[in-house]
Structures are given as structure tokens and as C-alpha cells.
């Protein structure tokens, strides 16, 4: 395997893990606090390896998420595609922000994702979501630096192991 492809399995594995974390049952009291793991992982890979993942992959991952979570078909696909578009558009800036500023940017991206989800739910007649619906991006704010450090460490170890 080439050095450029070292750790190529981390991308699909991390997306699968994010999907599984989204399916993990939580008590009703803390379920609204669950960060949007698919969005967080997708943002990381879009920033780090934009040549390996893009809007098409975001759409496919979103459709898989729609099927897995039982949401309206296309809702998560739309949300992740919009997220991917924004990240790709501003990647040059986001990539070189300090980690704390990246966290704020990811918070803004996930808050925008919540707006899109709320509009989609309003469009199908579900009504306005409860206030707890908006708490998820707040938990992603402190989670982002840890996610970046974990994935960077895993990617660097994979590179060191390859000849």
C-alpha cells in the first residue's frame, strides 16, 4: 500500500462508527444532547482529505443515515450535502484556524444543520421542534477538539506503520 493510502480504512470505519453512535439508544432526558456524529466525522474528513470525500459521498452517507435512523428519505442526505458544500467552499480558511476557532466554526455548521432539519420537519407538517432540539450543536463544541486529536493520532499511527 502506498504511503498516501496509509490508513485509508479509517474513513469508512469512522463513518460507520458515527452511524452506530447515532443509533445508540439513550434515555429520553439526554437524547437531545446527542451530537450529530455523522456531521462531525464528515466535517473532519472534508477538512483533512477533500480528495477522498466530497458532496457525492456526503449524499450517499446521508441516504444511509436516513435508512438507518428512519427519518424522511433525503433529509439527512440534504443536510450532509449542504454541510459538505459549505465546508468545501471555506476549507482553505477553516483548515488553518486554531482548534478553538474550528470548534466555533463547526458549532455554526451544526447549528445551520439544525435549521435545515427544522425547516424539513416543518415542510412535512411535523411542527416546530422543542427547544431541546437545538442543544445538540452545543455539545459538539467541546467534542470537536477531542475528535480531531483522536483522528489525527490514528492517521499518524497508520502512516508510521506503513513501509
Residue carrying the nine cell digits 438507518: 68
Overall pTM > 0.95? no
d(CA 139, CA 98): 19
Helices (H), the chain: 10-23, 37-48, 55-69, 75-89, 91-94, 99-123, 136-161
Q: Please give the mean pLDDT across all residues of the chain.
A: 91
Q: Please give the grid coordinates belonging to residue 50.
A: 477533500
Q: What is the pLDDT of residues 47-72, one digit of tens each?
A: 999 999 999 999 999 999 999 999 88
Q: Place 1 in a pLDDT band, splitting at 50, 70 and 90.
A: very low
Quote the pLDDT of residue 20: 95
Which residues, other chains included, contact 77 with Cβ-Cβ below 8 Å and sequence gap of 6+? 58, 59, 60, 62, 63, 65, 66
Q: Please give the grid coordinates belonging to residue 105.
A: 466554526
Helix pair angle (75-89, 55-69), 10° resolution: 150
Quote the pLDDT of residue 5: 60
d(CA 77, CA 72): 10
Q: What is the pLDDT of residues 6-52, one digit of tens each?
A: 567 889 999 999 999 999 999 988 888 899 999 999 999 999 999 99
Q: What is the pLDDT of residues 93-113, one digit of tens each?
A: 999 999 999 999 999 999 999
Amino acid at each position: 500500500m502506498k504511503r498516501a493510502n496509509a490508513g485509508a480504512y479509517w474513513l469508512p470505519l469512522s463513518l460507520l462508527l458515527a452511524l452506530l453512535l447515532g443509533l445508540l439508544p439513550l434515555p429520553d432526558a439526554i437524547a437531545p444532547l446527542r451530537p450529530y456524529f455523522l456531521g462531525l466525522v464528515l466535517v473532519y474528513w472534508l477538512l483533512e482529505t477533500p480528495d477522498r470525500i466530497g458532496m457525492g459521498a456526503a449524499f450517499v452517507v446521508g441516504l444511509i443515515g436516513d435508512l438507518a435512523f428512519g427519518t424522511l428519505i433525503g433529509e439527512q442526505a440534504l443536510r450532509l450535502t449542504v454541510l459538505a458544500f459549505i465546508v468545501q467552499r471555506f476549507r482553505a480558511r477553516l483548515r488553518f484556524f486554531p482548534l478553538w476557532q474550528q470548534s466555533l466554526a463547526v458549532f455554526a455548521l451544526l447549528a445551520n444543520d439544525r435549521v435545515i432539519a427544522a425547516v424539513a420537519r416543518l415542510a412535512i407538517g411535523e411542527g416546530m421542534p422543542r427547544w431541546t432540539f437545538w442543544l445538540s450543536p452545543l455539545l459538539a463544541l467541546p467534542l470537536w477538539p477531542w475528535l480531531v486529536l483522536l483522528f489525527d493520532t490514528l492517521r499518524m499511527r497508520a502512516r508510521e506503520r506503513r513501509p
